[in-house]
Amino acid sequence: MADSVRIGIIGSGGIAGAHAGAYKRMSDVEIVAVADVVPGKAAEFVQRHGLPAARAFDDHRALLELDLDGVSVCTPNVAHHRTSVDALRAGKHVLCEKPMAVTLEQAVEMARAAKESGKILTIGFQPRYDPNMRMVRSVVQSGQLGRVYYVETGGGRRRGAPGGTFIRKDLAGSGAIADIGCYALDMALHALDYPRPLTVSAYSSNYFGTNPKYHREADRFEVEDFGIALVRLEGGAVLNFKVSWAMHMDSLGNTLFLGTDAGLKVLPSGGAWDGTVGGVTLYHDVLGMHTESPLPLRPRGNLDIFYEKVRDFVVAVKEGRPAPIPGETIVRNQAVIDGILRSAATGHEVDIDIPAI
Ligand SMILES: NC(=O)c1ccc[n+]([C@@H]2O[C@H](COP(=O)([O-])OP(=O)(O)OC[C@H]3O[C@@H](n4cnc5c(N)ncnc54)[C@H](O)[C@@H]3O)[C@@H](O)[C@H]2O)c1
C-alpha cells in the first residue's frame, strides 16, 4: 500500500460531512472521490468541504473503478447493502454507517461479501470508543456480576423524531428501533459478547410521528417512533429493549444488567440516549450489607469518539488488522431489529434464525 490511504465516500449528505472532516484531520489519508445518486450533489460536497483533488460521481460503481483502499458508506440505510457489497467485491475495505442494513438477509450478504473478499467490513458504532462504555463491558466481562440473566436497555427522546430520509420506510427501513435502537442493542449485546438472539416478542407504534401536532412531516411519516421487545438470548438471558423518538415521558430508564452476584446500572450521559455513558453504579452485597458502589467514570477529555471510529478503520486498513466492529458480529444486531419488526407486525413472538455466514 502507498503511504497514503486512499478513501472514497459514498453518499454525500449529513453524516458524510463528519466522515470527510475526520479524514481531513489525518495526514496519511487522501479523499480521492465522492459519489451521490443525486446528480451534482457529490460535486457540490467536494467544493463545500474543500476537497479539490477528489473526483465526484453520480454512481458509486464509477467510484469503485478507481484505485482506492477503502470507502465510507454514508447513504440512507436502504443503500448500505448494495454499496457495501459492491465495494467489497471491488476489493475495497468498508466502513459502513449504522444501522448495518434494513433486513437480516442484506446484513448476511454483506458479511458474506466481506468474508469472500477478505476485506474489512466495520460498522460505525462510535459509542464503542467511549471509555465508559468500554468500562461497562469490562465489568460485565470480568464475571463480578455472576451469571447475567436480565438486561434492560434502550433510550428515549421526549421530542426527537427526525424527518427527511429517516421517516421513509423505503429508505430507512425502520424508525426509532433501527436508528437509535441499534446503539443501545450494541451496548448491551457487546457487553455480553454478542450472544445469538433466539426469539423476540415486540410491539411498535407511531402515534407521535403521524400526528401533525407533534411532527411537521406527519403526512409522510411511515416508520415507528416507539418500540419495545423482549428478546431471548442463547445461554438463557433475556433482553428487555425499549426505544422512543417521542413520548410524554422524560426517559425510558437506565440500562441495567442483573446478575446472580451483582447488578450494574448505567445512566446515559445526555437526555437523549446517544450511546455515551454518564454514570455507572455497581449494586452488590459487601459483608452481608446491600451496597451501592458508584464506579469512577473514565474522563473523556477532548476525545472525539466519531474521529476515533474513523481513525480505527484507517489504522486497521493500514496494518492489515481485522474489522474493528466486524459486520459478521453485527449481523446479530440486525437480526434482533429484523425480529422486532416482524413480531410487531404480526403481534406474535417470532423465532430468529441467522443463516451461516
Ligand atoms: N454515526 C452517526 O452518528 C450517524 C448520525 C447520523 C446518521 N447516521 C447514518 O448515516 C446514514 C446517512 O445519514 P445522513 O443523515 O447523512 O442522511 P442524508 O439523507 O443526509 O444523506 C444520505 C445521502 O446519500 C445519498 N444516497 C442515497 N442512495 C445512494 C446511493 N445508492 N449511492 C450514493 N449515494 C446515495 C443521498 O442522495 C444523500 O445525499 C444513515 O444510515 C444514518 O443512520 C449516522
Query: Tens digits of per-residue pLDDT, 325-334?
Result: 999 999 999 9
Instruction: Please tell me the residue having the least CA distance from ligand 1 atom 38.
Output: 13
pTM attached to this predicted model: 0.96
CA distance 352 to 231: 10
Phi, psi of 144 (to 5 degrees): -70, -15
Place of cell 474493528: 324
Give pLDDT tens digits for 332-345: 999 999 999 999 99
On whether both 154 and 272 belong to a single domain, the answer is yes
Give the three-state DSSP class for 133: helix
Q: Assess whether 54 and 183 both reside in one domain.
A: no
Same domain, 258 and 278: yes
- The answer to whether 101 touches 110, Cβ cutoff 8 Å, is yes
Ligand 1 midpoint to CA 17 (Å): 10
Residue 99 preceded by cis peptide, ω within 30:
yes
- Give the count of beta carbons closer than 10 Å to the beta carbon of residue 230: 17
Question: Has residue 222 been placed in a domain?
Answer: yes
Query: Is the per-residue pLDDT at 269 higher than 80?
Result: no
- Same domain assignment for residues 116 and 239: no
188 lies in some domain: yes
Q: pLDDT tens-digit profile of 111-140?
A: 999 999 999 999 999 999 999 999 999 999
Please tell me whether residues 95 and 216 are part of one structural domain.
no
For residue 72, report the distance from its CA to the centre of ligand 1, in Å.
Answer: 11
Q: How many residues belong to the chain?
A: 357
CA of 163 to the centre of ligand 1 (A): 13
Are 173 and 288 in the same domain? Answer: yes
Query: Same domain for 17 and 119?
Result: yes
d(CA 245, CA 37): 28
> Are residues 145 and 278 part of one domain?
yes
Domain residues for the domain of 39 are: 5-126+305-325
Q: What is the pLDDT at residue 299?
A: 84
Which grid cell sits at 153? 436497555
Residue 113 within any structural domain of the chain: yes
Expressed in angstroms and rounded, the spacing between residue 341 Cα and the centre of ligand 1 is 21
Question: Which residues contact residue 9 at a Cβ distance below 8 angstroms, ignoring those fewer than 6 apart?
Answer: 16, 19, 20, 31, 33, 34, 35, 45, 71, 72, 74
Q: Is residue 155 part of a domain?
A: yes
Q: Report the residue among 19, 83, 97 best suited for mutation to probe ligand 1: largest number of ligand atoms under 8 A from its CB.
A: 97
The reply to whether 15 falls in a domain is yes
**Claim to verify: residue 237 and residue 346 sit in the same structural domain:** yes
Instruction: Report which ligand 1 atom has the smallest distance to the Cα of 165.
Output: 19
Where does residue 122 rank: exposed (0-12), middle (13-18), buried (19+ CB within 10 A)? Answer: buried
The stretches of the chain forming alpha helices (DSSP H) are 14-24, 41-48, 60-63, 80-89, 104-117, 131-142, 169-172, 176-179, 181-191, 305-319, 327-346
Q: What are 28-43's pLDDT values in tens digits?
A: 999 999 999 999 999 9
User: Exposure of 240 by Cβ count < 10 A (0-12 exposed, 13-18 middle, 19+ buried)?
Assistant: middle
What's residue 226's pLDDT? 98
On whether residue 356 sits in a domain, the answer given is no
Atom in ligand 1 nearest the alpha carbon of residue 124: 1
Mean pLDDT of the chain: 95
Per-residue pLDDT, averaged over 99-118, amounts to 97
Question: Which residue is closest in CA terms to ligand 1's atom 43?
Answer: 98
Q: Note whether 271 and 251 are within 8 A (CB).
A: yes
> Is position 340 within any domain?
yes
Give the separation between CA 186 and CA 154, rounded to whole angstroms.
10
Asked whether residue 1 carries a pLDDT value surpassing 60, the answer given is no
- What lines the ligand 1 site, CB under 6 Å? 10-16, 35-38, 41, 60, 74-77, 79, 83, 97-98, 124, 126, 164-165, 179
In the predicted structure, residue 354 carries a pLDDT above the cut 60: yes
Q: Whose CA is nearest to atom 5 of ligand 1?
A: 15
Q: Read off the CATH number of the domain in which 242 is found.
A: 3.30.360.10
Q: What is the pLDDT of residue 157?
A: 87
Give the domain CATH number at 72: 3.40.50.720
Report how far ligand 1's centroid is from the alpha carbon of 171 (Å).
10
Question: Does one domain contain both 79 and 133?
Answer: no
**pLDDT for 37-70, tens place per residue?**
999 999 999 999 999 899 999 999 999 999 999 9
330 lies in a domain? no
Residues 272 and 319 in one domain: no
Place of cell 436502504: 78
Q: What is the pLDDT of residues 4-19, one digit of tens each?
A: 999 999 999 999 999 9
Q: Are residues 219 and 253 in the same domain?
A: yes
Q: DSSP assignment, residue 101?
A: -
Please give the tally of structural domains in the chain.
2
CB 331 within 8 A of CB 111: yes
Most ligand 1 atoms within 8 A of CB, residue of 123, 165, 330 to mutate: 165
Q: Answer whether 11's CB lies under 8 Å from 22's CB.
A: no
Q: How many CB atoms lie within 10 A of CB 144?
A: 14
